[in-house]
Structure 1
Amino acid sequence: MTGPQQPPQRVVRAMTTELPTAFWAFHNLYHRPYLEYAHIQLGDERSAGELVHATFMDLALNWPDMMEDANHEAYAWALLRERIADELRLQGRVPATVETAVFARVNRAALESVRDQLADMESALGLYAAISRLPERQFDVMVLLYVLGYPTEQTAHILGVTPATVRSQARHAKRKLAKDLDLTVDLTADRDDAE
């Protein structure tokens, strides 16, 4: 994977001892969702891991600047999305969302019978293809909520937005998906923070 050059090892060692507890708390809270999201986009765990590591290194090096930003989560999320877009552009390809999301969902349902998994995969292909065509914010919300399974409140924290924004973006996305897939959607049955 190409990208920003890694800092010298002595800088990494110095950073691990000098970074504030708040950075490590932020890292612990968002590393996994960032990694899962990057994997959905890149389709490769190793590349996703390297990209997320580089993103957190950049955040660590710029931690004081980030802390001056009123919305730390949105700042970090924008950096992650930018790195993913740059990586895909460098590779000359589109996100692997459709394939990766389908198989992530099938793996989550691994206890079901093989027949049910294949039927699920077949119907999910069209849905995930439609999700990949959503506007950026709606796409992020749908991937975090429904592909990766994060609750509304946590999705809001990851994106640096309010839970109401997440619910609104999910409703808009569902309407668009229903129109694109010629389906009827019950918007009164939206996911709730209590999940």
Structure 2
Amino acid sequence: MTTPFEPPAPPPLRPAPARPGRKLGPIAEELSSAHRAWLGPMRETYLTSGLTLSELSARVRLAKSKISELLRGIGLYPRWEIIFSLSRELNMPYWPLYRLWRQAALEAHKSREWVERCSEKTAVTMSHAAPPLDHRAFRELVESFYSLYAQVFLEDEERDTAVSDTFDILWLCWNDALASPDTRKFAWNVLRATVMARTPHVDGRPELGWAAFDTVALQSVIAASDRAEQIEETLDLFKAMSRLPDHQLDVMVLRRLCGITPRTPPAFSVSRWPLCGPTSATPSISWRASSARPRPKGKPHDPSHRRNPLQGPAGPSPHRAPRHRPLLPRKDRGTQPAGEPSTSPASPTRRLKTCGPCAKPSSPTPRHRRDRLRHRPGTPTPQRAGPCLRAAADRHR
């Protein structure tokens, strides 16, 4: 029974109107990965455009059967004039589509003269356009990490081609990537599909055997017998890794083989930007950006206190305590005579006097002073300071 406090049930959703004409068939299974790289985005753009084959045929002046064969990937490899006319009607960017089409044509054993003849008529209308600003920013952030991941499965030339194709595909479907729940995960799926399409597979799993000959452990071994044993051990390890599920395999590759950890150097880091995006099956693989220490409000930034240790010792500062006595806690400064122990309820180690080379400030000091003390020659090590502190503790008792 429906009460007045319950909202009325929404009307049932009507199914989307069926596209008139014959349904477009699937993509041919024997199609190469390079051909699928540009055909997949074009096919999805056509299906979401609402156009029919008859309407598209009237606009580009091409038979419906030819367009259907082109969108299914059967028949002869299409010329660029046809692809260019279709992309213009579907509002697709020309430049990434041309690069993907050219790469697939060369892999389909088309000569470079044939490629140039196909594109010479559209060279004037097709100019080198820049990708969207957010796409360029995203590429600058993750391209180096994408290359590290692809290098585990592919050689250098194949790696560069796979990463370049990944960002071209993202350019073609960038609006879909931005509209997805997680742009990072969308882009990672494109990268993984592109890399795995070029990776040799054994029993349905990616082959990592060749990477066993390019490891740090193998380069550190000199004896020939030890090298053979190391290669055999690494091959067994990589073979076991290749049997992992997709998410776990990506985590092992990124963390163990690529060295991407939460403490990645700040020069290659992005704050709260995991590579794969948050998933329930994988831990968050993120790297943090270096953050400057916040300055107190009302005080201007003075870079003079950050002194390079190579410039020598800094000059005397009125805010710096002499080295012959420990620095008093902040709350006791100005109220306690110099050289006398503090009477504040602090820990006993703060009131201890140290001797000889073990003397050092016993209270927290600003960061720039700690940096200078850390680089100052003659700073005692914990092993040398330990006995002195224990002796001072006995005297204090």
**1:7 aligns to 2:118 (yes or no):** no
What CA deviation, in whole Å up to 9, does each residue of 1:63-87 have, x standing for no partner? Answer: 2221111211111111112223333
Structure 2: which 5+ residue stretches go unaligned?
A: 1-31, 39-95, 100-122, 265-272, 289-397
Does the 8 A contact of 2:247 with 2:282 survive in 1? Answer: no
How far did residue 152 of structure 1 move? 4.2
How far did residue 2 of structure 1 move? 5.0
- Select the structure that is richer in helix: 1
Structure 1: which 5+ residue stretches go unaligned?
A: 170-192
Does the 8 A contact of 1:152 with 1:163 survive in 2? Answer: no
Q: Per the alignment, in what secondary structure is the counterpart of residue 159 of structure 1?
A: coil
Aligned partners of 2:213 and 2:178: how far apart in 1?
Answer: 37
- Higher Cα Rg, which structure: 2
What are the residue-to-residue correspondences of 1:85-104 with 2, within 5 Å? 85-88=196-199, 95-100=206-211, 102-104=212-214
Q: Per the alignment, in what secondary structure is the counterpart of residue 24 of structure 1?
A: helix
Aligned partners of 2:127 and 2:278: how far apart in 1?
Answer: 31
**1:31 aligns to 2:124 (yes or no):** no
Q: Which residue of 1 aligns with 2:245?
A: 135
Equivalent position amino acid for 2:146 in 1: Y
TM-score (structure 2 length as normaliser): 0.35
Does the 8 A contact of 2:184 with 2:277 survive in 1? Answer: yes
Give the root-mean-square deviation of aligned CA atoms.
3.7
**1:114 aligns to 2:222 (yes or no):** yes
Instruction: Pick from 21, 45, 54 the counterpart of residue 156 of structure 2.
Output: 45
Does the 8 A contact of 1:145 with 1:152 survive in 2? Answer: no
Does the 8 A contact of 1:152 with 1:166 survive in 2? Answer: no
Q: Which residue of 2 aligns with 1:188?
A: none
How far did residue 28 of structure 1 move? 1.5
Identity %: 25
Equivalent position amino acid for 1:19 in 2: P
Decide whether aligned partners of structure 1 residues 132 and 124 sit closer, same or farther in structure 2, where only a CA change above 3 A counts: same
TM-score (structure 1 length as normaliser): 0.66
Does the 8 A contact of 1:104 with 1:147 survive in 2? Answer: no
Q: Which residue of 2 aligns with 1:166?
A: 283
Aligned partners of 1:59 and 1:74: how far apart in 2?
Answer: 12
The structure whose RCO (Cα within 8 Å, separation 6+) is larger is 1
How far did residue 93 of structure 1 move? 8.4
